[in-house]
Amino acid sequence: MFGGVDSHADTIHVAVITDRGGHVADAEFPTTTAGYAAAVAFLNAHGTVTAVGVEGTSSYGLGFTRAARGAGLTVIEVNRPDKAERRRIGKSDPIDAYAAARAALSGRASVIPKDDTVSGIRALHNAARSAVKARTAALNQIAHILITAPDDIRVKYTGMRGKTQVDAISRLRPTGDGPRVALLTALKTLARRVQALTAEHDTLTAALDAVATDYNPGLRAAFGVGPDTAAQLLVTAGGNPDRLRTEASFAALCGVAPVPASSGRTNRHRLSRGGDRGANSALYRIALVRMSSDARTREYVARQASAGRTKKEIIRLLKRAIAREIFRYLTTPVTVPDVSDLRPARQAKNITLTTVAEHFGVWPAVISCIERGTRRDDDLAGAYRDWLTAA
């Protein structure tokens, strides 16, 4: 027997089919603990269940997915039926549930759902991003108000930039009444909102950094991988990255795998426009960081440029290579060398960050990041340790 589940906010519809695709039975259950238990019992009552295809395993179907896995059932993630099939046979909860069961039976759906061990990272990541969006909206409102503000206000505050402007506006003391006071009050309110959202984002990012580092220290320590990009890649892969069988499948998931676009005498590939666009953006940001700061990447870019490739083509190649590296971090435990001894050793000898940076020909911030473990460079860390020992 095979099962299929069409999930909604308040109900789930469960269907059972035979190994040959014949309809057996279907029923509707509430999205409660008791409802999930009844749905699992309904499936088991019709025989041995080989697999259950579930729509929305990371949204409305997550509760049933947990219950089914807890009962020992194999759950398969199912996409919604394509539009052509829906036009042909129509749409209803029973139809969708039977379609999910047939997808599991035929093998059209074969992906194991993500587990929810990264749900905390996903929640922190979404909260941090929403804080950034709200802050950007408030900053845009301040800029738009200043465009039409009286000349003295506009000239005074448009000459400032960034945090200086926000801090100055937040210290306004509008008094009296009239349009001018109303305008200053709006500006002050928006500036204080920006400050609050900035502090909120910093707090969320620190918490996200700690959780992501604890969950996968190797990924977080990779060059160019910050808290936001690490969180996005962990959310994309899920807590069970073994569901991604090869690094090629992970590259396809991130939208960085070339797609064949050949026809007749034309033999070519095009860039994938599918995949998780958040993961694609994370790989792009890692590529940009490495192009500007990583010596090996800069040498690679120079070689490709001399071969006649454009910057866009080089970035595409980098993203594909980075996806291969990230897949290894996601699927293979990586031991990150301990660097907690570096800062105490430097401070014990009264050596400044500037002195260390000048000796190795890097910025002081690079040494600080290595000491704090937010940037991984094993060769530099080893040379730094040897230099401190000999100093």
Residues 131-167 pLDDT 10s: 999 999 999 999 999 999 998 899 999 888 889 999 9
CB contact set of 267 (below 8 Å; sequence gap of 6+):
none
Domain assignment present for 220: no
Residues 101 and 133 in one domain: no
129 or 21, which is more confident: 129
Q: Closest by alpha carbon to 385, among 352, 350, 340, 355?
A: 340
157 and 204, same domain (yes or no): yes
Among 73, 106, 139, identify where a domain stops. Answer: 106
Number of domains in the chain: 4
- Please check whether residue 319 lies inside any domain of the structure: yes
> Of 87, 83, 77, 88, nearest to 4 (Cα)?
77
Based on the fold, state whether residues 17 and 77 are members of the same structural domain.
Answer: yes
User: Does residue 336 fall inside a structural domain?
Assistant: no
Domain boundary at 304, 331, 358, which?
Answer: 331
Average pLDDT in the 358-381 region? Answer: 86
Residues 96 and 34 placed together within one structural domain of the fold = yes
β-bridge mates for residue 7, sequence order: 12
Residue with tokens 């892969």: 237
> How far, in Å, CA of 140 to CA of 332, rounded?
43
Digit-coded pLDDT (tens) for 87-105: 777 778 888 899 899 989 9
Residue 375's CATH number: 1.10.260
Query: Could you read off the pLDDT of 375-390 as tens digits, one per residue?
Result: 778 888 889 999 998 8
Phi, psi of 3 (to 5 degrees): -115, 160
Q: Is the pLDDT higher at 333 or at 84?
A: 333
In a shared domain, residues 83 and 137: no
Q: Compute the distance between CA of residue 311 and CA of residue 317 in angstroms, rounded to an integer.
A: 10
Three-state SS string over 141-189 comes to HHHHHHHCCCHHHHHHHHCCCHHHHHHHHHCCCCCCCCHHHHHHHHHHH
323 neighbors 237 (Cβ within 8 angstroms): no
pLDDT value for 84: 67
Task: State whether 264 and 349 are in the same domain.
Answer: no
- Residue keyed to tokens 């291969």: 324
Q: What does pTM read for this prediction?
A: 0.80
7: domain CATH number? Answer: 3.30.420.40
Counting runs of H as helices and runs of E as strands, what totals does the chain give?
18, 7
Is 60 within the bounds of a domain? yes
pLDDT of residue 82: 65
Q: pLDDT at position 352, please?
A: 92
Same domain, yes or no: 98 and 27: yes
Give the pLDDT confidence of 223-244 residue by residue, as tens digits: 899 999 999 999 998 877 877 8
pLDDT at 85 over 70: no
**In this structure, is residue 346 part of a structural domain?**
yes
Parent domain of 145: 119-215
